[in-house]
Amino acid sequence: MNLKKFLNKLLIFIFLISIISVPNIVFAYTKKVVLGGENIGIKVNSNGVLVVGFYQIDGKNPAKDAGLRIGDRIIKINDTDINIISDLTSSIKDNTEVLEVTYERNNKTYNTKINLYKDSNNVYKTGLYVKDKIIGIGTLTFIDLNTKMYGALGHEIMEKTTGTKFEIKDGTIFKSNVTGIDKGTRNSPGGKRASYMLDDTYGTITKNEINGIYGVYNKNIDTANLIEVADSSSIKLGKAYFTTVIKDDTKETFEINILKINKNDATKNIFFEITDEKLLKRTNGVVQGMSGSPIIQDGKLIGAVTHVVVDDSSKGYGIFITSMLKEIEN
């Protein structure tokens, strides 16, 4: 054998070894997580101050005349960062007649000027209704032991007035007990009533995404509640369960029946009906505050409750758990 042929065979051999040696990554996310189900309080702070409405001053609206719209986020006044409402009010007090405003709309930045007007008390006004935070409740879905990251809700936090995603700067999850239930009725979803313990924080909120909220869990983690994660391909129609809180801080598990599986939607992957008579008697079905409640089938975590069917609260939707787990790796 000449040298050229020998080297060619050697290169082919090395190439094949290289291919064989590359590992196959079948499961990109963690295989086990700590099961959630706890009721949590949620507080998120806006990235800037959100415009949620307008009012008139002597028949005029200076902010609207300046081109601002509901859903805009004011991020600067006269080159000073605006993070909370008090920043905005301070800017008005420190200036007279004109504000130079920088705001964001649909991920683009704009500049405008607001000509202030005085009200009947001789105080300058913008004509703006604004918001800088949202406080509510939801359900914890899981905690990843490896990263201490958690996932909750299974959908993004929306600002109710504008109907848009709430762009967050930061936030916290904290202890919250369920004090009562407003039962759902046809075309009127019910909801959990809850008490807030704002100082008893569980963790941070760093991401508000279409498939849930995420952050670092700072409390001690009970490893006794480890559960295996199921890939979406193993989910089947039929019996399953979800875990949630409907009184105080006690987690309970209720039976559901999976009717349809949809792999083409972002958050409505699992269509189910509640078959647990005890839950139907107490809530009439899925209610607000259950978002994030973990769904279990065959002893594995498969998803989280995300939505209620408005005209039939005994039915609801859930997201694949794999969609949420992928988010904590990004």
The pLDDT of residue 28: 53
Residue of 65, 87, 231, 276 with catalytic role? 276
Q: Is 233 considered catalytic here?
A: no
Give just the sign of the alpha carbon dihedral 254, 271, 329, 135: negative
The pLDDT of residue 4: 47
The domains of the chain, with CATH numbers, are 32-45+138-327 (2.40.10.120), 56-126 (2.30.42.10)
State how beta strands 300-308 and 226-229 pair.
Answer: parallel
- Cα separation, 34 vs 229, in Å, equals 10
Residue of 46, 72, 91, 155 with catalytic role? 155
The pLDDT of residue 91: 83
pLDDT by 10-residue block (mean), the chain, 330 residues: 44 30 43 96 94 90 94 92 91 78 94 88 87 96 95 94 89 97 89 96 97 96 92 96 97 98 94 97 96 97 96 96 89
User: DSSP letters along 33-102, please?
Assistant: EEE---EEEEEEEEEEEEEEEE--BTTB-HHHHTT--TT-EEEEETTEE--SHHHHHHHHHH--SEEEEE
Residue of 176, 291, 313, 323 with catalytic role? 291
Q: What is the Cβ-side half-sphere exposure of residue 55, based on CA atoms within 13 angstroms?
A: 7
Q: Is 276 considered catalytic here?
A: yes
Q: Is 291 considered catalytic here?
A: yes
The pLDDT of residue 59: 86
- Cα separation, 90 vs 77, in Å, equals 10
- Cα separation, 216 vs 149, in Å, equals 5
